[in-house]
Structure 1
Amino acid sequence: MNKTIYAIISFGFLLIAGASPLRAQLDNAGTIIKASATEQGRQDANTLLKAYFKPIGKGFGTDLNTGWFNTAKTHSLLGFDLTVSASVARVPGSDRSFNVQKLNLKELEYIEEESTSPVTPTAFGPGESNTTMGAYYSYTNPQTGEQQRERVDFEMPAGTDVPYVPAPMVQASVGFIKGTDVTVRYVPPLDLPNDIKLDLWGVGLKHDITEWLPGGKLIPVNISLQAGYTKLNSSIAFNVDPEQGADVENNYDPSTWNGQKAALRTNAFTVNALVGKTLPFISLYGGIGYETSSLVIDTPGSYPVTVPNEDFPDQSSQPKKIKKVDNPIDISYDKNSSFRGLVGTRIKLAFFNVTASYTLSKYPVGQVGVGFSFR
């Protein structure tokens, strides 16, 4: 059974991580990293990428706060269930694009042309982008001693045109005394193809408060409180290659760019009040809750950026050169908090369960799962 569950989770994470818009768009987002040659340019690149990956910060945290329970009722003493599920958060229209002119950039600049637009997709937005940005570099002309300023343009990446943020999960719950369940989430460190790595753990509590209410034994439904915390660490390899061309000077060995990756660290916490009814073959529940999450994305490794070659400032071809920057991106999404409403059901066939739920929040989440339970 352990090997089977491990295989299911490994395959689930492989499918979702391999098809994830984040994985698909990281290479394209590398064009923004190439604008981080200066300290101010690096800050602007972080601002652009924070806006571009905004749905990850909200959607992924919402996914991790889902699926903690499939009934309002708690287990009997030492009763337990094991569930494998997948959650998908829908990105609202307001977070599928953003306006670069509203980001208060200091060094990078929107290049306005007849065919361009300052409104550009996020990673989960439309599959086309026509936003051009310019990165400006100042240097001293070695021949004249005068200060010069050059611009290197780059295109903002498109989205995937898939406005959904997915996340799989495996967890087990065990009943203890006084109507209390302890739930544990755990995925051991996995090394998946395409240099995808991840590990996850979480812990939750659910307590049936029906017996503490006046006349609780006569209440025909179960009323419970639940809280859960999840922590996810993952990394995804991607490639930002140096610009090629006869006018580009590159003095770095190709191995310099090995080890490029995006590292993600997510923390999610939720608390919920539930009411529901459990019948022999089906359970129904609903509730309200509060959730919060945070996400950090950084980019360990060395990355090539293109800058003007100040050794040849007077050539009309404006020669360029490659400069190396280390760990250019460090983005934090903090306190993505919201209230939510939720409904769900569990269909029980002997020891086999099929579960489904829907969470109504800024990022609505649908969740389905299968598992086994012994109450």
Structure 2
Amino acid sequence: MKNLLFAIMGFCVLAVQAQSDANDLFAAGVEDAETFMNDYLAPVSEGAIYSVAGSWFNTGDAKPLGGFEVSIIGNITGFKNKEDKKTFILNTADYQNLQFVDGSTTKTVSSALGDIEGVRVFVEAEVAPGVTSREEFDLPSGLAAEDINFIPSGFIQGSVGLIKGTEIKARFLPKIDTDDVAISLIGVGIQHEFTKHLPADKILPIAISGVIGYTNIKGTYDFTDTSIIAGSDQRIDAKINTWVFQAVVSTKLPIINFYGSLGYLSGKSETAVLGTYDVQSGPFQETYTDPFTLNKDASGVTANVGTKIKLGFFRLHADYTLAEFNNFSFGLSFGFR
């Protein structure tokens, strides 16, 4: 259940891979573990930013005063053909202790999105005069190795029309809080239709709007009880904050409409590895407390096209966004006016 919840919110690798390889990575020393995990997790953090940031609109036509819409929205952010996000170059010169078993100094290895397996590394050091300790292990693979080539997300979103072509929006995910997993998502947005100020608004076949949206997602995974590595209060705290600024144009027809946008996305993720970790193998047998926090920024231009079908109080919409990580979004809505 915990892995499914994190997969839904785009944090599956942050939860699963970080715990399953913690003992091996910390055996290389905390500095090397941080260096590796920063490169390893950066693509999945970036993909999660793109997954939760968008889907703020399904039309450029702002709702009138008192009009409302409530939607259930799902997103699938793909990376199947993004080889540059599924791998990275590991250069041993950037590490204090980590070395490749085959003697290479640089090698293409898997990121948290990738599928490269069997890359063997080692750490070695003198632990006493004339006594050398060596630890070998495989670097972790990623989601593609499990035939998962997308990052999903989902939430509930509502919007209400105000005066003068302005519409306010809010999104949330009902808080999930179990013994070892807690996830929550909130967001606020605003849409303003500029064509509402034109004299010919009632007869124009299109609507043009501007949209600004902010999303915050938090997730905590406590894996102390998994006994992957000795210690206490072991957990991952992940946070993502995103902003989007978009110009939207759509048709204004009774049943089927089409919309598109051009915009800019900016986001930041922060993943903290917290707790106490007792490394009991290899040459660097130490205890680490709250060992490191990883940060990833992402920004870029986005463009999307979509369609919406209105059937009385019910609406269906789907759109596709082109960006650093492309995203397919779909939604089921209930609305009035």
Same fold, TM exceeding 0.5? Answer: yes
C-alpha deviation, 1:216, in angstroms: 5.3
Q: Quick check: 2:13–2:44 contact (8 Å CA) kept in 1?
A: no
SS across alignment from 1:358 = strand
Tell me the CA shift for residue 14 of structure 1. 7.1
Which residue in the other structure is 1:249 paired with? none
Measured at CA, do residues 332 and 369 of structure 1 come closer, stay the same or move farther in structure 2, by a change above 3 Å? same
Which is richer in strand? 2
Confirm or deny that 1:295 pairs with 2:282.
Answer: no
1:75-86 aligned within 5 A: 75-86=63-74
What does 1:225-264 correspond to in 2, within 5 Å?
225-238=210-223, 239=226, 241-242=228-229, 257-264=231-238
1:368 maps to amino acid: F
Corresponding position of 1:170: 156
- For the pair 1:276 / 2:276, whether they are aligned, the reply is no
The CA deviation string for residues 298-321 of structure 1, in whole angstroms up to 9 with x for no partner, is: 11111232455xxxxxxxxxxx78
Corresponding residue for residue 51 of structure 1? 39
- Equivalences, count: 328
1:359 shift after superposition: 0.4
- Identify the residue that residue 142 of structure 2 maps to in structure 1: 159
Q: Give the 5 Å matches for 1:127-146.
A: 128-137=116-125, 139=127, 141=128, 146=129
Report the equivalent of 1:332. Answer: 295
Which residue number corresponds to residue 89 of structure 2? Answer: 99
For the residues of structure 1 that align with 2:24 and 2:300, how far apart are their CA atoms? 30
Amino acid at match of 1:259: D
Amino acid in the other structure paired with 1:361: A
CA distance in 2, matches of 1:167, 1:362: 17
Q: Does residue 112 of structure 2 align to residue 123 of structure 1?
A: yes
Describe the superposition over 1:3-24 as per-residue Cα deviations: whole angstroms up to 9, x where unpaired.
xxxxxxx9x9577259934444
1:192 positional shift: 3.7
**Any gaps of 5 or more consecutive residues in structure 1?**
1-9, 243-255, 309-319
SS at match of 1:47: helix
Deviation at 1:114, TM superposition (A): 8.3
Describe the SS at the equivalent of 1:337: strand
- Equivalent position SS for 1:113: coil
* Closer/same/farther in 2, CA of residues 147 and 72 from structure 1, 3 Å limit: farther
Structure 2: runs of 5 or more not aligned: none
Question: How far off its partner does 1:65 sit?
Answer: 1.4
Q: Distance in 2 between matches of 1:191 and 1:28?
A: 22
Percentage of matched positions with identical amino acids: 27
CA displacement at 1:215 relative to structure 2: 5.8
Looking at structure 1, the residues matched to 290 and 205 of structure 2 have their Cα atoms a distance apart, in angstroms, of: 57
The one-letter code matched in structure 2 to 1:73 is: D
Cα separation, 2, equivalents of 1:200 and 1:224: 25
1:217 and 1:150 map into 2 onto residues whose CA distance is 79
- Higher Cα radius of gyration: 1
Structure 1 SS opposite 2:46: helix
Distance 1:18 1:367, change over 3 A: closer
Q: Check if 1:61 corresponds to 2:49.
A: yes
Q: Could you tell which deviates more after superposition, 211-220 or 90-99?
A: 211-220
Residue from 15, 30, 49 that aligns with 2:22? 30
Task: Tell me the residue number matched to 1:357.
Answer: 319
1:180–1:29 distance in 2 versus 1, CA, 3 Å: farther
TM-score, normalised by the number of residues in structure 2: 0.87
**Superposition deviation, residue 110 in structure 1:** 2.8
TM-score (norm 1): 0.79
In the other structure, the counterpart of 1:191 is 177
CA separation of 1:279 and 1:13: change in aligned 2, threshold 3 A = farther
User: What is the distance in 1 between the residues matched to 2:317 and 2:63?
Assistant: 16
1:263: Cα distance to partner? Answer: 1.0
C-alpha displacement of 1:360: 0.3
Cα offset, 1:357, TM superposition = 1.1
The Cα shift of 1:217 comes to 5.5
Q: What does the per-residue CA deviation read over 1:182-201, in whole Å, with 9 as the maximum and x for residues that have no partner?
A: 001123432146x2101221
Structure-1 separation of matches of 2:138 and 2:245 = 42
* Aligned counterparts of 2:130 and 2:200: Cα–Cα separation in 1: 82
- Structure 1 residues 169 and 28: alpha-carbon distance in aligned structure 2, compared to 1, 3 A threshold: same
